[in-house]
Amino acid sequence: MEPPSYEEASHHPPAHGTEGFNCVAPPAYDNSLFSPSTPPPAYGEAIQPDLFPILTTPTVPTVVIPPPYNSGVTVHPLTQVGVGVNSRQAQTVVVVSQPQPVAISVQALRDAPGLVRCPHCRHLVTSKVTYSPGTAAWCACIFIALMGLICGFCLIPLMLRGLQDVHHSCPHCGRHLHVYTK
Biggest distance spanned by C-alpha atoms of the chain: 120
pLDDT at residue 128, rounded to an integer: 93
Q: Distances from the Cα of 40 to the Cαs of 31, 34, 37, 56, in angstroms?
A: 22, 14, 10, 36
Residue 19: which pLDDT band, with cuts at 50, 70 and 90? low
**pLDDT exceeding 70 applies to what percent of the chain?**
64
Average pLDDT for the chain:
76
Enumerate the β-bridge partners of residue 166. Answer: 131, 180
Rg (CA), the chain: 43
User: Residues 170, 175, 179, CA angle at the centre, nearest 5°?
Assistant: 80
**pLDDT exceeding 90 applies to what percent of the chain?**
30
pLDDT at residue 121, rounded to an integer: 93
Region 7-12 average pLDDT: 74
pLDDT in tens, 20-77: 566 777 777 665 566 667 777 777 777 766 666 667 776 766 655 556 555 555 555 5
d(CA 61, CA 75): 10
Reply yes or no on whether the pLDDT at 82 is more than 50: no
Region 91-103 average pLDDT: 74
Q: What ranges do the domains of the chain cover? A: 63-93, 106-180
pLDDT at residue 132, rounded to an integer: 94
Region 4-24 average pLDDT: 68
108 phi-psi bin (left φ>0, alpha ψ -120 to 50, beta other): alpha
pLDDT at residue 74, rounded to an integer: 56
How would you write the chain as a 3-class SS string?
Answer: CCCCCHHHHHHCCCCCCCCCCCCCCCCCHHHHCCCCCCCCCCHHHHCCCCCCCCCCCCCCCCEECCHHHHCCEEECCCCCCEEECCHHHHCCCCCCCCCCCCCECHHHCCCCCCEEECCCCCCEEECEEEEEECHHHHHHHHHHHHCCCCCCHHHHHHCCHHHEEEEEECCCCCCEEEEECC
pLDDT in tens, 105-132: 888 888 889 999 999 999 999 999 999 9
Reply yes or no on whether the pLDDT at 3 is more than 60: yes
Q: Distances from the Cα of 160 to the Cαs of 35, 113, 157, in angstroms?
A: 71, 18, 5
